[in-house]
Structure 1
């Protein structure tokens, strides 16, 4: 159980799921080495985690990977163990612990993610109860705010945006938010062509920035 339970929730919660690095970003294997993919995943994770932290979130990393977990702890973030190596099963298990508090699930492969975008998600979430941020293709779900996760069933993967929207609209007012900051993700070789245009900083810069907050 997360250590902060029982002490009150002083900050909003952000859960960042990260696959085991051995399996991460497999669709990039035709253009990147295994080591290159690992470095990319860690860089994107650090970027997302630090943006969440500077936006005032309590950061929880959900992972089965030792390196990711150690990195998270070094940054002062909490770790939730993924015992399933399956995002939806792991989230289903974890969300039971957070069923009564607002939380935001952030898939940490968003190079344009920024503080302002997360603050907008939180503001809309408090007003509407639920916010979904899809990817550019309106297929996947990149960011999801839940006022309560009590009845939510994670369905991440292909076409998760529509599946999540249909599920949640039955119980909650839902706001759909589409911005470049939350929609641009790195999943395919084509996405890598955009990376030189992005200005998110190196992990070292973000570590220093996070430690200052």
Structure 2
């Protein structure tokens, strides 16, 4: 696809990443979420084909950081039982209200090891009306891509890879470890550290004392 507009949804960071509670305090988890979001946005913004980013969030810290990074911010709409997909659908509608029919990318906001080259390659190989990047667990969704003629129709949540495939999304094959690795558990955190995370997540984890004997690789955006 030649040009794509991205959408991310980020909830209140004070309530995020509860599965990391065994290794991080609530305050640390909130700081990590903001750092991972920042590194994800920085990597995505380095991809020329991605011409805009809309962030849907109720969190003022996330909103302020998104604006600093050049993103358009939309307040989270009333969501009921499905806040993530409601937020992504609202972001998609807002993008098309402002830009007209356009390809859309729903991207997870916690991809601290994402390389711009991975995202650019994924956009280059995507074909058809709807594509999905399945995450490293094999059950979740790292990214959902639709062309200008298709609704976003996000199905993020438990077993979302199956749900997106059932809705017609074609799984994309590619060696994109940073794109496929979102962070929900301590094991995920170990995995992205081994891949090399962006500078904001690196700084935050070092502040928390997450170091290894050989040093963690740092992902650079170039």
TM-score category, normalised to shorter length: 0.7 to 0.9
Matches within 5 A, 1:1-213: 12-56=4-48, 57=50, 58-84=52-78, 86-98=83-95, 100-125=101-126, 127-148=127-148, 150-169=150-169, 174-178=170-174, 179-203=176-200
Runs of 4+ in 1 over 3 A off after TM superposition: 148-152
Give the conservation status (yes or no) of the 8 Å contact 2:56–2:73. yes
Task: Give distance in 1, aligned partners of 2:46 and 2:54.
Answer: 14
Q: Write the deviation string for residues 94-119 of structure 1: whole angstroms up to 9, x where unpaired.
A: 32234521011110211221111111
**Offset, 1:11:** 5.2
Give the conservation status (yes or no) of the 8 Å contact 1:96–1:150. no
Distance 1:55-1:65 versus aligned 2 partners, 3 A rule: same
Task: Give distance in 1, aligned partners of 2:72 and 2:66.
Answer: 7
Distance 1:192-1:152 versus aligned 2 partners, 3 A rule: closer
Task: Give distance in 2, aligned partners of 1:205 and 1:78.
Answer: 26
Task: Give distance in 1, aligned partners of 2:87 and 2:152.
Answer: 13
Task: Give distance in 2, aligned partners of 1:166 and 1:154.
Answer: 12
Distance 1:158-1:11 versus aligned 2 partners, 3 A rule: same
Q: In structure 2, what is the equivalent of residue 7 of structure 1?
A: none
Can you give the 5+ residue segments of structure 2 that lack an aligned partner in the other structure?
Answer: 204-221
Can you give the 5+ residue segments of structure 1 that lack an aligned partner in the other structure?
Answer: 1-9, 207-212
